[in-house]
Chain A
Amino acid sequence: MLQVVCIKQVADTETRVKVAADGRTLDPAGVTWILNPYDEFALEQALRIREAAGEGEVVVLSLGGPGVQTTLRNALAMGADRAIHLKTDAVQPDSLQVARALAAELQGLGPHLIWFGKQAVDDDAAQVAPMVAELLGHPCVTVVAAIELTQGAEGGPAGGQAVIEREIEGAREVVEVTLPAVLAADKGLNEPRYASLKGIMAAKKKPIDEKPVSLGPPALEILSLALPAARAPGRIVGQGVEAVPELVRVLREEARVI
C-alpha cells in the first residue's frame, strides 16, 4: 500500500511575528522552521498503518524552496521511506497553486491514501487537502480524529475501505470511505514518535527526489500582512476573593458581558 504524506515547513509556533520589508510576508530573520505540527499526526498515522500491514511505502511530499529539505529529512528520520521535493522559489503561493502542483505529482504516484495535516499553522487556511481531493476526484475527510482500515485496503488502489471519525461542532461524523482517499489529520489522532538516533542516521541515506515545478497563476493577491491592533490595557481589579464583587460589577456594568 502506497501512502503519500504532504507536509509543509512552517515557522515554529513560538515565533513572534515580524512583518518583512515587503509589508506582505513574514520576516524570516531569526525564525525557527519546523514540520507543521498537524502534519506530524498525519505522518505518524501513515507510519502506523505501514507497520501494522507489515508492508507498503510512505512517501513524504513537500513544495517549497531549498530550505524545505531539512523538514523532509526530519520526516525521513521519523520513518518515511523516501521524499519528493517540488522545488519552487515562489514566496507564498496560494492554496490553489499548491494544490494544483501537488495533485499533478500525486496523479502520477497513484497512492491509496494521501495524508495532510488539518491545517498549516502559518496561513491557517486548511484548504489544500480538500482542493487536492477535488482536483483528483477523490473522497476527502478533514479533521480526522480516528481511522480504521476495514477491508482490502492493501489490495490495490481502488476498493479498499476505511471508517473515519471526523470532529465537528459538538459531535463526530463517522464516515465510510472507499480508497483512494485524501485525509487531513487532527491533533489527538495519535501520539507522534520522536525520531530515534538510528532513524536520523538512516535518513541521511534515504533519497530526496528534487523536481522543479512551475506554479500556475495565483488566485489570491496578498495585499498586506500586519500585526493585530493591540488590546487596550486592562487592569487588575483586586487580589483574592475580596476582588470578586468588583469583578462581577465591572463585567456587568462596564463590559456588559454577564
Chain B
Amino acid sequence: MAILVFIEQREGRVRSVAREALGEAVRLAAALGGPVVGVCAAAADPGLAALGDAGATEMLLATHEAFRHYEPAGYVRAVVAAVERVKPSVVVFSASSMGRDLAPRVAARLGVGLAADCTALAVEGGRLVATRPVFASKAVQRVAFTGTPAMVSLRPKVFAAAPSQNGAAPTVTPLAIDHDPAAARSRVREVKTTSAGKVDLTEAEIIVSGGRGLKGPENFAIIEALALALGATVGASRAVVDAGWRPHGDQVGQTGKTVSPKLYVAIAISGAIQHLAGMSSSRCIVAINKDPDAPIFKVADFGVVGDAFEVVPALTEAVKALNARS
C-alpha cells in the first residue's frame, strides 16, 4: 500500500516542512512497503518535479485559481480525492498551521483517527505506532490506529528532510476535483506578513528567548542583537507576554508555542514548568541567569550564572567576531 504525503505550498513555493514529511514517508515506506505518493493543492505547479529526488514516485496536483491561498474546503477535497485514488495505508501531513487545520478535516471526512504533532513514527508488528508529546511535552503518548488509512501530522523541525537521491523525477499527474469556492463559505482575502523575513519559532534552527529578568520591553534590544548575530528567532516567556512586552506569537511554553530548535538560549528566564515544557525538546539549551538556583539550569546543557545585561552583549560580540572569521 502506498504512503500519501500532503505537499504543503505557500505562495507557489513548496515549504521545507513538506520535505520533512516526505523524508519520513520514505523511511516508513521502507518498513511498510509501497510507493510514496504526494498530493498538492495549488494555483499552479509549485515545482513538484524538483522534489523528484526526495523519494516520491508520483505527485498528484489539484489546481484551482482559489488555491492561491489556503482554502480548507478545496484542499480537503484534493486530499480525499487522492486517498480514494491511491488507497494509502498512511497519510502524512506536517503539523504546521496549515496541516493542523487541514488534517483533522480530512480525518473527519474519512472517519479515521489522526495522531497530531508526532515526534516519532515506528512500525511495530506490521502496524504504525505514533509517538506524540502531550501536556506540552511533559509526557509522551504512543498511539495506534483502529482504521485505514492511519493519519499523522509531524512536528516541524523534528524529522530529517528527504535527502537528495539523484533519482528520477516523479510523474506529476493532474488530480481532477470538483470544487466550487462560492459553496465553501470561507475565503482567504489576504495574507498579512507580520514578521517579514523572520523564521517562525516553530521552524527556527536557533531561538533566543527573554524573560522577566530583563525588567522592561526596551531591554529586549539585547535579545534582538544576539538573535541577529546568531540568525535566530526571538522568543519570550509567558510572564513578559502577559505583561504586554512582547506579542503572543513570541510566547514559548504551554499556552504558547512548543519548539524544538537545535539551539535554545534562555535569557533571564527562571524556568516555570509551563516554559520548560515548551522548550525542553530543544537539542541544546543554554541558560543565562543571575540566580544559580533558577529551575532553568536543571534543563540547560550549558549555563552561565551572571547578569544578562553584561553577559548577553559580550556573547553577541563574541558571536559577531566568530562570524567575521568564518
Specify the chain B residue showing the minimal Cβ separation from A94: B113
Write out, one digit per residue, whether chain B residues 216-251 have a CB within 8 A of any chain A CB (1) or not (0): 000000000000001000000000000000011101
**CB distance A38 to B255 under 8 Å?**
yes
**Given known contacts A37-B255, A124-B134, is B185 in contact with A170 (CB within 8 Å)?**
no
**CB distance A239 to B69 under 8 Å?**
no
Write out, one digit per residue, whether chain A residues 221-253 have a CB within 8 A of any chain B CB (1) or not (0): 111111110011011111111011101101110
Specify the chain A residue showing the minimal Cβ separation from B310: A241
How many residues in A have their beta carbons less than 8 Å from beta carbons of B? Answer: 88
Q: Does B191 contact A (CB under 8 A)?
A: yes
Q: Does A125 contact B (CB under 8 A)?
A: yes
- A/B pair count, beta carbons within 8 Å: 282
Pick the residue among B107, B137, B146, B311 that contacts A217 (CB under 8 A): B146
CB proximity to B under 8 Å, residues A123-166 = 123-135, 138-143, 145, 163, 165-166
In the assembled complex, which residues on chain B have CB atoms less than 8 Å from the CB atom of A13? 136, 254-255, 273-274
Q: Does B100 contact A (CB under 8 A)?
A: yes
* CB of B205, distance to nearest CB on chain A (Å): 9
In the assembled complex, which residues on chain B have CB atoms less than 8 Å from the CB atom of A181? 185-186
Pick the residue among A17, A177, A238 that contacts B185 (CB under 8 A): A177
In the assembled complex, which residues on chain A have CB atoms less than 8 Å from the CB atom of B191? 168, 171-174
Q: Does A96 contact B (CB under 8 A)?
A: yes
**CB distance A220 to B146 under 8 Å?**
yes
* CB of A18, distance to nearest CB on chain B (Å): 9
Q: Does B179 contact A (CB under 8 A)?
A: no
**CB distance A134 to B280 under 8 Å?**
no
Pick the residue among B111, B143, B301, B310 that contacts A222 (CB under 8 A): B143
Q: Does B291 contact A (CB under 8 A)?
A: no
Interface of B is mostly: mixed
Q: Does B314 contact A (CB under 8 A)?
A: yes
**CB distance B104 to A134 under 8 Å?**
yes
**CB distance B256 to A187 under 8 Å?**
yes
Q: Does A167 contact B (CB under 8 A)?
A: yes
- Beyond A219-B111, A222-B141, A223-B142, list 5 extra A-B contacts (CB 8 Å): A142-B101, A145-B248, A226-B140, A234-B301, A238-B305
Interface residues of B (CB under 8 A from A): 69-70, 72-73, 76, 96-98, 100-105, 107-109, 111-117, 129, 132-147, 184-196, 198-200, 202-203, 206, 230, 247-249, 251, 254-256, 258, 262-263, 273-274, 280-281, 283-286, 292, 297, 299-307, 310-311, 314-315, 318-319, 322
